[in-house]
């Protein structure tokens, strides 16, 4: 049969969760896909001790992960990859496997140009305080669904409600216990999910 095209995975936020995911996913994908990783700061794990940060950066660079540092992801749109022209058409209503996600990266640092990235899957790991510089217009075809706490409501699978190709992981996911109470944002809870 037809060889499937390489899968493109975008990871938004490079704190502890994003870094761990980027390294693990790129290792598993090998040559079958690419990982693009975006962080607001020009560094990764901004709160980690410098030695740990440098070691983690070396791992990411050695695995051919495409790093976009100094960018904020403000908007994710669902688009339909039209087969005949190969062009991308924004359309939130199209089903099937032809859908792609388009991420708008806004420069968070001077001297950088805004960019647009394409992905098949998005992992949203922006922590408990997402840095969204410009809110999406309310009529945008795809909205990052933040609740009043700035977190994302997910299914038990961590898939963002209504958006199965986007997963919220780490402190950015609003996790509740079976009684509906929010679980705390800490490493213990995160590891329960691993």
Ligand X SMILES: Cc1cc2nc3c(=O)[nH]c(=O)nc-3n(C[C@H](O)[C@H](O)[C@H](O)COP(=O)(O)OP(=O)(O)OC[C@H]3O[C@@H](n4cnc5c(N)ncnc54)[C@H](O)[C@@H]3O)c2cc1C
Which residues would be at the binding site for ligand X (CB under 6 A)?
A: 12-18, 38-41, 46, 72-73, 125-127, 130-132, 170-172, 185-188
Burial of residue 113, with CB atoms counted within 10 A of its CB: 0-12 exposed, 13-18 middle, 19 or more buried: exposed
**CB of 72 or CB of 166, closer to ligand X:** 72
Report yes or no: 151 and 194 within 8 Å, Cβ to Cβ: no
- The least distance separating ligand X from the CB of residue 161, rounded to whole angstroms, comes to 19
CB of 58 to ligand X, least distance (A): 18
The least distance separating ligand X from the CB of residue 78, rounded to whole angstroms, comes to 18
Q: Write out the DSSP string of 74-127.
A: EEEEEEEE-TTT--EEE-TT--STTEEEEEEEEE-STTPPPEEEEESEEEE---
Residue 15 or 78: the one with the smaller Cβ distance to ligand X is 15
Q: How far is the CB of 126 from ligand X (least distance, A)?
A: 3
Q: Closer CB to ligand X, residue 19 or residue 79?
A: 19
- CB atoms under 10 Å from CB of 12, counted, come to 29
Q: Which residue is nearest to ligand X (CB)?
A: 15
Which is nearer to ligand X, 23 or 80 (by Cβ)? 23
In 3D, which of 172, 171, 152 has the Cα closest to residue 163?
152
Pair 39, 14: CB distance under 8 Å: yes
- Closest to ligand X by CB, 32 vs 176, is 176
- In angstroms, give the least distance from the CB of 56 to ligand X: 12
């Amino acid at each position: 049969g037809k060889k499937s095209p390489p899968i493109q995975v975008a990871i938004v936020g490079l704190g502890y969760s994003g870094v761990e995911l980027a390294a693990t996913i790129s290792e598993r994908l090998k040559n079958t896909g690419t990982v693009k990783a975006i962080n607001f700061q020009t560094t990764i794990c901004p709160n980690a001790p410098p030695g740990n940060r440098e070691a983690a950066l070396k791992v990411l660079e050695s695995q051919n992960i495409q790093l976009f540092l100094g960018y904020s992801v403000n908007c994710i749109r669902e688009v339909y990859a039209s087969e005949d022209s190969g062009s991308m058409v924004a359309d939130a209503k199209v089903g099937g496997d032809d859908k792609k996600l388009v991420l708008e990266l806004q420069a968070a640092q001077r001297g950088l140009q805004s960019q647009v990235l394409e992905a098949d899957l998005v992992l949203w790991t922006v922590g408990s305080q997402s840095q969204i510089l410009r809110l999406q217009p309310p009529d945008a075809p795809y909205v990052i669904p933040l609740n009043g706490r700035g977190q994302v409501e997910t299914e038990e699978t961590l898939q963002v409600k209504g958006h199965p190709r986007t997963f919220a992981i780490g402190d950015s996911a609003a996790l509740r216990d079976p009684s509906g109470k929010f679980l705390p944002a800490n490493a213990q809870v995160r590891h329960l999910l691993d």
